[in-house]
Amino acid sequence: MRKPLVAGNWKMHGSRAENANLVQTLLDLLKPEWSAEVMVCPPFVYLWETGRMLKDTDVALGAQSICAEAVGAFTGEVSGAMLRDVGCGYVLVGHSERRQLYGETDALVARKFVAAQAQGLLPVLCVGETLEEREAGRTTEVVARQLEAVLAVSGVGALAKAVIAYEPVWAIGTGRTASPEQAQDVHAMIRAKVAALDATIAASVRILYGGSVKASNARELFAMADIDGGLVGGASLKAEEFAQICAAAG
């Protein structure tokens, strides 16, 4: 059985006080009997403080990005070792905002995936097509290309220590969620691609759905056979709603 994972990606929101308040309210709302693993990804500058608040809890800490390089003259970047140092267990790689707004290529995303695992971080590899690509019938091709770019460098075995997140770009921040069936189709395709290389890893790798997940649609999305939780943006900024989404994962 795959343990569901619900991750909150706060993107570039909040202040020290707001983030601390969000973490504390969330900790107060989460119930030990809920089965999903919960993770939060605050902005870099709040990781340390958040990590301290999460110490001795079951809530995991993740970063939103990582430098592909280990150390050196890379102004503005944050290394995997630094993320470990402040308590991260996970890191997002290849989020569509990084790909689209900051020019991250498949090759760079693959290097970031490797850099994360080199430091013992679990990368959450984000993949997903744009609206234009979907309408052109290219969803499978695009998602497979993004996945294969990482597999070519890391090998399928690396997925034993990683998470995949399918985030259709057209569903991110738009309020337009993929239907459970649309999401399931892509998740099943991803799992089949992995299964063609290693059936055991395919059966165990968690594939999250992201894109306008809300308390009102989480349950039906998470009920799909190949959806193992969610990567939640906007709704993770509201502790009550995010907690409801965590509850919906089981």
Instruction: Kindly list the catalytic residues.
Output: 95, 167
Helix (H) or strand (E) holding 164: strand 163-166
Query: Which CB atom, from 177 or from 202, has the smaller least distance to ligand 13P?
Result: 177
Query: Which CB atom, from 97 or from 226, has the smaller least distance to ligand 13P?
Result: 97
CB of 210 to ligand 13P, least distance (A): 4
38 CA to centre of own chain: 11
Q: Decide: 177 and 213 in contact? Cβ < 8 Å.
A: yes
CB of 212 to ligand 13P, least distance (A): 4
N-terminal to C-terminal alpha carbon distance within the chain: 12
Distance in angstroms (rounded) separating the CA atoms of residues 2 and 207: 10
Query: Which CB atom, from 202 or from 215, has the smaller least distance to ligand 13P?
Result: 215
Which residues lie near ligand 13P (CB under 6 A)? 9, 95, 167, 172-173, 210-213, 231-235
* Chain position whose Cβ is nearest to ligand 13P: 233
Query: Which CB atom, from 23 or from 156, has the smaller least distance to ligand 13P?
Result: 23
CB of 40 to ligand 13P, least distance (A): 12
CB of 182 to ligand 13P, least distance (A): 15
Distance in angstroms (rounded) separating the CA atoms of residues 213 and 233: 8
144 burial level (CB within 10 Å; 0-12, 13-18, 19+): middle
Distance in angstroms (rounded) separating the CA atoms of residues 16 and 1: 37
Q: Decide: 39 and 6 in contact? Cβ < 8 Å.
A: yes
